[in-house]
Amino acid sequence: MDELELLKKDWQKDDANYPKLTFDEIYKMLLKKSSSIVKWIFIISILEFIFWALISYMLKDADYNKKFQEYQADNIMFSIMVFGYLIIIYFLVRFFMNYRTISVTDNAKILMENILKTRRTVKQYVAVNLGFIIISAFVVLSIQFNRDQQMVSIIDNAAANGELLKFYSITIIVTLVVLGVTVGVLLLFYYLIYGILLKRLNNNYKELKKLEV
């Protein structure tokens, strides 16, 4: 049982030996807790942005990236990377605006609306990130199919042997399995980090509804 629950029970006791908490005092506690949670969502998203930026920097000279230069597709990869950063920056701004909005809220109903807005923003952030990863993976795969000479040779041999459908089927299945594992790991990460924070934010929302009754 958290501090707020204990204080609420004490607030409801007729024989309490200390001052009872008023509606405004409980509201201010919920506001402070909600503001802190949204601030942490913003901070974690910044750390995530820094993490991916460092990964990109460390892998810029990797053999995998050099291959795309050979394919003359490095401009496509650069565009994908920039678009990915723009997505994160866009949501960073939204998280910050949510934090600013909640921090200065002085009405329980508006605070409830802002909590719901923050929850939607986080869910959109997760969905867009995962969608971007899936789309990027298929773009990279199509580049390799069309510009990697070794891959082109394998496809030609498969076509000559009448095994083109088998080759594509195996490739798609392997790609989907790898993507499934990747998405699963990211979903676990998002659940452990953002999911826990959203659960606490949702608890605050429920407490506000009780106060509104």
pLDDT by residue (tens digit) across 119-174? 899 889 989 988 888 888 888 888 877 777 777 788 888 888 888 888 888 888 88
pLDDT by residue (tens digit) across 172-196? 888 889 888 988 888 888 888 888 8
Q: Give residue limits of the domains in the chain.
A: 18-212
If residue 101 lies in a helix (H) or strand (E), which one and from where to where?
helix 74-103
Instruction: Using a cut of 0.95, tell me whether the model's pTM lies above it.
Output: no
C-alpha dist (Å) from residue 157 to 40, 143, 148, 160, 161? 54, 19, 14, 5, 6
Burial level of 41, CB count in 10 A (0-12/13-18/19+)? buried
What is the longest distance spanned by two Cα atoms in the chain? 89
